[in-house]
Amino acid sequence: MEANKIRSKFLKFFENRGHKIISSASLIPENDPSVLFTTAGMQQFKPYYTNSQNADKDFGSRNITTVQKCVRTGDIEEVGDATHLTFFEMLGNFSFGGYGRREAIAYAHDFIAQELGLEISYVTFYKGNDNVPRDEDSRKIWQELGVKNIREDGNDVFWGPTGNSGPCGPTTEIYCKNEAGEDVEIWNIVFNEYFCNGSREKLDKGEASLEKLDVLGVDTGMGFERLLATVQKKKNVYETDLFNNEKTKEERIVADHVKASLFMISDGVTPSNTGAGYVLRRLIRRAVRFSKQPLAQEIEKIKKIYKGVYILDDKGGIEEEENKFRQTLQHSLKEFEKGVDPFILATTYGFPIELTQELAKEKGRNIDLADFHKKMAEHQKLSQTSSAGMFKGGLANHNEKTIKLHTAHHLLLAGLKAIVDKNIKQRGSNITEERLRMDFLCGRKLTDEEKKKVEDWVNDKIKEGLNVVCREMPLSEAEKIGAEMEFGTKYPDIVSLYFIEEPAKDGSGKNGNVISKEFCAGPHVSNTKELGHFRITKEETSSQGVRRIKAILE
Ligand code: SER
């Protein structure tokens, strides 16, 4: 069965069972500037797990089904094996209080066993821990459905939260055998029963707690390419009709990376030195390194595969980046052989540090990463003003108005922390040309006096004319200095942070006190005095434990 047929079969199956079909969200999350890419189907629906009645309002249904475009770059070095890809599609069904375990498991079972005629190799269920009970219900449901091989599992089958807080819960997974006889995880069915007020790391360390959600949420995800390989009885994803039967690791890397790049550019990313743009640049440059032919041929093949399914247009962006890099590639490979400093390779030849690391690994050589990052941070400081205009990918649509509101958004979070509670965490954001909207963790309504104080605080910072600067640094360093991060779990090794800083009191022209530091792809104004007057127009409840502020610049 071809890919196109399975996509529609899946959506139809769930539509027939009371689900509303929603289109794939953009690869760049629209309401969350702190996340680089959409990594799962549930991402566009995250707020509905804590605020299920909004699903009725927004979709006219609590049950949704999608085929979502996703990018995950965490496993980039595994690309080329049988299953790992940076771009993939995820088939999913979601429910915000519409149904529970029994329906979710029975749907998945019917789709896999009856609609696709696949044999389930085994399924898993959560064995429980001190805070979460063993998922006996899921085990029983599978047993009643006649599945023989039911295995209990631990931490691996508790999913989420993504980022610094969010819905999470036990999962049950379906494994099927592939053509090579290996068991492959096909479907992950998550029961969002809890809201975690900290990151997954904190939860695992016992530093975050779980609160039961009002309604049980369902979030399922099935990796489409893996499923296809199984249905089409292929040994790997490259033999399915979403690829062109690439055989060598190099050909596979090119096919995957060009595909991911084409989808990213079609969703508005452009190559740059930071955030999503940097990931795109890395993918294109890595593809160039492994490709003997111009990437144009690969682009055409990919467009043909997805014709009528997705609109793909790279507007010449890949070729431009390719040309830039091909000119220096041979030269930089020679320089690498001579042992030239990775910092020089990156800044003079545009050779991404990750590629240098990969080359070094191939040749059994060591490189001094700490030294590289130190030099890079210095370099960034010097060039920050000149590169400030280059960033894309943080704000989905940016123009003068949204950029100003974006900076005001950072100031608002800092103001809430300064006036209301230093532990306040952001939960979501959305910026239009007219206003900003911020959701944040807070168990109570703000008083009128607090709102006024926050407003005054932000307006003071605007009047003070603070500098807004972007710095890139290793993720570990950014975490160490306690920069605000949110939602997305996987940040790249080098992240960009935006600082809002007072000028130093000594008049040296350097920066003094840091007012705000956030993980962010930008863009921002370069000085707060550009913003005008800040006003909070609304403060309301968003969902359990979450408040929502809307504010404008006038
Ligand atoms: N959120 C889960 C995953 O990404 C299921 O969709 O696997």
* Within-domain flag for 84: yes
Q: How far apart are CA 321 and CA 316, in angstroms?
A: 9
State how far the Cα of 252 lies from the Cα of 1, in Å rounded to an integer.
Answer: 23
Q: How far is CA 109 from the centre of its chain?
A: 29
Tell me: do 278 and 201 sit in the same domain.
Answer: no
- Nearest atom in ligand 1 to the alpha carbon of residue 189 is 5
| Cβ–Cβ under 8 Å, residues 382 and 20 | no
- The verdict on 235 and 253 lying in the same domain is no
C-alpha 88 – ligand 1 centre gap (Å): 13
Q: Tell me how far the alpha carbon of residue 403 lies from the centroid of ligand 1, in angstroms.
A: 32
Ligand 1 center to 319 CA (angstroms)? 34
What distance in angstroms lies between residue 140's CA and the mean position of ligand 1's atoms? Answer: 22
Same domain, 433 and 503: yes
Atom of ligand 1 nearest to the CA of 40: 4
Rounded distance between C-alpha atoms, residue 264 and residue 260, angstroms: 6
Q: What is the pTM of this model?
A: 0.70
**Is residue 297 in a domain?**
yes
Q: Is residue 544 part of a domain?
A: yes
* Among candidate residues 214, 239, 264, the one where a domain is terminated: 239
Domain boundary among 239, 262, 294: 239
pLDDT, one tens digit per residue, over 458-470 is 999 999 999 888 8
**362 inside domain:** yes
Range of the domain at 135: 3-239
Q: Per the structure, how many domains does the chain have?
A: 3
Q: What is the DSSP letter of 112?
A: I
**Is 382 inside any structural domain?**
no
Pairing relationship of beta strands 20-21 and 63-71 according to DSSP bridges? parallel
Residues 161 and 256 in one domain: no
* One domain for residues 399 and 356: no
Closest atom, ligand 1, to C-alpha of 160: 1
Asked which of 239, 267, 302 is the last residue of a domain, the reply is: 239
Phi/psi-derived region of residue 233, left when phi > 0, alpha when psi is between -120 and 50, beta in every other case: left
212, amino acid identity: K
Q: How far is CA 147 from CA 127, 139, 150, 507, in A?
A: 18, 10, 7, 73
Indicate if the pLDDT at residue 382 is higher than 70.
no
Which of 219, 222, 224, 490 gets mutated to test ligand 1 (max ligand atoms within 8 A of its CB)? 219
Distance 159 CA to ligand 1 centre (A): 8
Q: Are 373 and 474 in contact (CB under 8 A)?
A: yes
Task: Say if residue 196 is in the same domain as residue 69.
Answer: yes
Strands 546-553 and 534-543: antiparallel
Binned at pLDDT 50, 70 and 90, residue 510 comes out as: low
Whether 107 and 214 map to the same domain: the answer is yes
Is 88 found in the same domain as 216? yes
Tens of pLDDT, residues 102-120: 999 999 999 999 999 999 9
Query: Looking at residue 33, what is its pLDDT?
Result: 56
Which residue bears the tokens 């399914």? 309
Q: How buried is 247 (Cβ within 10 angstroms: 0-12 exposed, 13-18 middle, 19+ buried)?
A: exposed
Residues 519 and 441 in one domain: yes
Amino acid at 260: A
Report pLDDT for 388.
31
Residue 232 shares a structural domain with residue 84: yes
The ligand 1 atom nearest the CA atom of 90: 6
CATH code, 195: 3.30.930.10
Ligand 1 pocket list (CB less than 6 A):
40-42, 92, 159, 188, 190, 219-221
Burial string for 151-160 (b: 16+ CB within 10 Å, else e) reads eebeeebbbb
Tell me, in angstroms, the distance from the centre of ligand 1 to residue 40's CA: 6
Same domain, 178 and 280: no
Does residue 383 belong to any structural domain of this protein?
Answer: no
- Domain CATH for 405: 3.30.980.10
- Read off the tokens for 509: 């022209």
Mutate to test the pocket of ligand 1, among 65, 88, 188, 193 (most ligand atoms within 8 A of CB): 188
In a domain, 387, yes or no: no
- Return the residue whose CA atom lies nearest to atom 3 of ligand 1: 221
Rounded distance from Cα 44 to ligand 1 centre (Å) = 12
Are 25 and 160 members of one domain?
yes
pLDDT tens sequence across 471-504: 877 777 888 888 887 544 356 677 778 899 887 6
> In this structure, is residue 222 part of a structural domain?
yes
pLDDT band with cut points at 50, 70 and 90 for residue 507:
low
Strand ranges for 276-379 from DSSP E: none
